[in-house]
């Protein structure tokens, strides 16, 4: 689970390095006024960013979708994020970066050209991979462009609050009778030995962990399909697991107060998470060796 960055943590704001407690943005920032911005969350393991290019590619796609230019070149992003990690002690962290359209007189349409606000912080993470979670089924009340990693997360917040009120960790979202994703994760089900997850569409975020799991399923010849999953199929699944950069691959053992399968993490999840951890550990070792060379 991501911890909140400590007040003494060093953050990056518009080219400056500052303690978190001293970082300030204007109340006229369009991120504050309109939620007009996009973000990324990139995990680090053992002091190395995991899949940074995939995250920065998705950032480019989010920015293009909201008609903003990327204010930093790829190499500059890499340098900023690596410095951020180092300055906050390395190890296992969750790196958060956010770009808003900038500061302007409040109007939906900005009149003058704006300078984007660029912010990045990182916080230590206590890894909770493999820890079972519980979930509820919830109507997907979000807008129609869920492929964009927008900072406007009010619907996600409300759905997770509903999960919390009902004693669960995550809300699994249904749109027009079909599963889209979790409020902060992608969702996989297992039925009769076949792993299934909804295909990419504007209804869900193309999760970096989701895409890696699909790649690893194919590489390891585990039967799988990227197909739509109805609410009935979700409820009848033998196994359900969630993926996200911070939670990695988490088994869901209870859905709306009913056990999923036998109510304990299932055997297919067990193989998938082991394959994932092997891949992640090898990548981290390679990145550490590269840095040391």
Ligand X SMILES: Cc1ncc(COP(=O)(O)O)c(C=O)c1O
Complex with ligand X: residue 88 or 243, whichever CB lies closer = 243
Where does residue 286 rank: exposed (0-12), middle (13-18), buried (19+ CB within 10 A)?
exposed
Each residue of 174-192: b (16+ CB within 10 Å) or e?
bbeebbbbbbbbbbbbbee
Q: How far is the CB of 207 from ligand X (least distance, A)?
A: 3
Complex with ligand X: residue 182 or 265, whichever CB lies closer = 182
Complex with ligand X: residue 10 or 214, whichever CB lies closer = 214
Q: For residue 175, what are its two tokens? A: 């749109």
Complex with ligand X: residue 117 or 156, whichever CB lies closer = 156
The alpha carbon of residue 70 and the mean position of all alpha carbons in its chain are separated, in whole angstroms, by: 20
205 near ligand X (CB under 6 A): yes
Interacting span for ligand X (CB under 6 A) from 76-84, 94-102, 207-215, 284-292 = 207-215
Q: In this chain, which residue has its C-beta nearest to ligand X?
A: 207
Helix (H) or strand (E) holding 285, with range, is helix 267-292
Complex with ligand X: residue 41 or 151, whichever CB lies closer = 41
Q: How far is the CB of 209 from ligand X (least distance, A)?
A: 3
Q: For residue 73, what are its two tokens? A: 């070149």
Out of 31, 214, 243, 269, the only residue in the binding site for ligand X (CB under 6 A) is 243
Helix (H) or strand (E) holding 123, with range, is strand 117-124
Active site residues: 149
- 158-197 binders of ligand X (CB under 6 A): 181, 184-186
Q: Name the residue with tokens 């109340």.
A: 27
Q: How far is the CB of 55 from ligand X (least distance, A)?
A: 7
Q: How far is the CB of 230 from ligand X (least distance, A)?
A: 19
Out of 209, 237, 249, 252, the only residue in the binding site for ligand X (CB under 6 A) is 209
98 near ligand X (CB under 6 A): no
Distance CA 33, CA 102 (A): 10
Q: How far is the CB of 293 from ligand X (least distance, A)?
A: 29
Interacting span for ligand X (CB under 6 A) from 65-73, 111-119, 205-213, 215-223 = 205-213
Interacting span for ligand X (CB under 6 A) from 92-100, 189-197, 200-208, 256-264 = 200-208
Q: How far is the CB of 244 from ligand X (least distance, A)?
A: 4
Distance CA 160, CA 170 (A): 6
Q: For residue 25, what are its two tokens? A: 């943005």
Q: How far is CA 224 from CA 173, 221, 233, in A?
A: 21, 9, 15
Q: What is the largest CA-CA distance in the chain?
A: 59
2 phi, psi to nearest 5 deg:
-75, 130
* Chain positions contacting ligand X, by CB under 6 A: 41, 181, 184-186, 205, 207-210, 243-245
């Amino acid at each position: 689970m991501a911890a909140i960055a400590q007040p003494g943590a060093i953050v990056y704001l518009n080219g400056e390095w500052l303690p978190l407690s001293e970082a300030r943005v204007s109340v006229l920032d369009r991120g504050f006024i309109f939620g007009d911005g996009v973000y990324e969350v990139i995990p680090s393991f053992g002091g190395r960013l995991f899949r940074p290019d995939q995250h920065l590619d998705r950032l480019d796609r989010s920015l293009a979708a909201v008609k903003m230019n990327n204010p930093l070149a790829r190499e500059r992003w890499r340098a900023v994020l690596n410095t951020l990690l180092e300055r906050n002690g390395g190890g296992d962290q969750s790196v958060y970066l956010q770009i808003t359209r900038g500061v302007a007189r409040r109007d939906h349409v900005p009149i003058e050209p704006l300078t984007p606000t660029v912010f990045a912080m990182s916080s230590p993470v206590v890894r909770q991979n493999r820890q079972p979670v519980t979930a509820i089924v919830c109507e997907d009340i979000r807008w129609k462009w869920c492929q964009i990693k927008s900072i406007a997360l009010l619907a996600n917040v409300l759905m997770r609050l509903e999960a919390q009120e009902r004693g669960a960790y995550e809300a699994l979202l249904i749109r027009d009778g079909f599963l889209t994703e979790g409020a902060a994760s992608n969702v996989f089900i297992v039925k009769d030995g076949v792993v299934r997850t909804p295909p990419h569409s504007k209804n869900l975020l193309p999760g970096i962990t989701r895409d890696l799991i699909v790649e690893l399923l194919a590489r390891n010849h585990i039967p799988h399909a990227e197909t739509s999953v109805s609410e009935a199929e979700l409820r009848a699944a033998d196994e359900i697991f969630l993926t996200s950069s911070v939670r990695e691959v988490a088994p869901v053992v209870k859905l709306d107060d009913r056990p999923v399968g036998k109510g304990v993490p299932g055997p297919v999840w067990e193989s998938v998470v082991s394959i994932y951890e092997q891949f992640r550990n090898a990548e981290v070792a390679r990145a550490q060796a590269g840095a040391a060379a």
